[in-house]
Structure 1
Amino acid sequence: MSNTYVLVLFYSRHGSIAEMAKYIARGVNSVANIEAKVRQVAPVSETSEATSDAIPEQGAPYATLDELAQCSALAIGSPSYFGSMAAPLKHFIDQTSTIWMTGGLIDKPACAFTSASSMHGGHEQCLQSMMIPLLHHGMIWAGLPYKNKALIGTTTGGTPYGASHLATTTSENTLSKDEIALCEAQGRRIAELALKLAK
């Protein structure tokens, strides 16, 4: 794994966000001299005594705070729960005070991606909820510019705040062509910005 990487960090309950992460990573990996490091966060237990295994049963490995601190850029993803990020992702972010105190993320680019099961299920508000703590970290927010034509024509997901997926049912995780194109565009953009800002 290269020292120059975009951390694609996410929580996915039903698979949509994990699928989006795959295409964002593909966009990152299409840019030379940088690569994607795909990581998920552990679920939060409803019982305080429960702990997660160190290795998830499936999917990407769990993220560490060191991986976040050492990234060159961050793409962060969560399903929209009532217009906000999911608790497991917020729980992970709430543990980053030591990174904040050392300024470890200052001037690094960040973007976000989300999924909701209705057109007005909080896509844009969820993206903004992930933006707020990253701005406190001094990160540089990167949305999706309208030069990406899929953003204009999409009838599914996609916002200028970041990539999104419209899941017509809770367990539906098949991305539309526009959603895939926007995820890949977001991955390319964050990778290119990371390389420019690292100079």
Structure 2
Amino acid sequence: MTRIQQVHWELNMDYLGHPYYVSGNAIYHALGMQLEHDVHQHINASHGMFVPGQFGTFPEEHSQSGIRPYMGSALPDVESYTDLFLFRHPDHPWLLDSRPRDALNAHDIRIQSGMPALAHETIMGRPDDHRKQQQTTRWYVTAYLHADDPDLLPLGEDVLDGLQFGGKRNYGFGEVSLKDTQVRYFPTGVSSGAKASL
């Protein structure tokens, strides 16, 4: 059996780094600040995908169905291997059509110290006839951890919380807090064929 730990972080501060994802290397090195060397060298991390905390609906291929409020803000249950990939698409196909899809598929950029940074929240105005004049969407980072020695997983919440990704970390940029994590087991033959996709 292959053990995979899903991790879902909430962005607390703007992120200076790759505009489409947090690299697995960045996640790996952030974990290295929290782990002992002999444990750290056996951990592997996927790219971390940016996910908006918005209303969404499960796609047909998912084991669950229906609409969920603020779907991107937490990890849904995983019952099959394909369920793992819900948040892995940068165009967020799970977003409801009634949500501002075009705006959320282009992550908001703010200039920080002369450099472009991905905003940790997106604030959009709303029409005058709406109850609230603006809507704020929080952003999350979802990734997978895998270990050469499966007994090393799951990593504890104290290790996964308060990490920093990207540039200018000494100034607080790229700070995340742990929002959700879960461990799933899959037959080795299934996951090894798709390991590169994780």
TM-score by length of 2: 0.28
TM-score by length of 1: 0.27
Larger Rg: 2
Higher helix content, 1 or 2 = 1
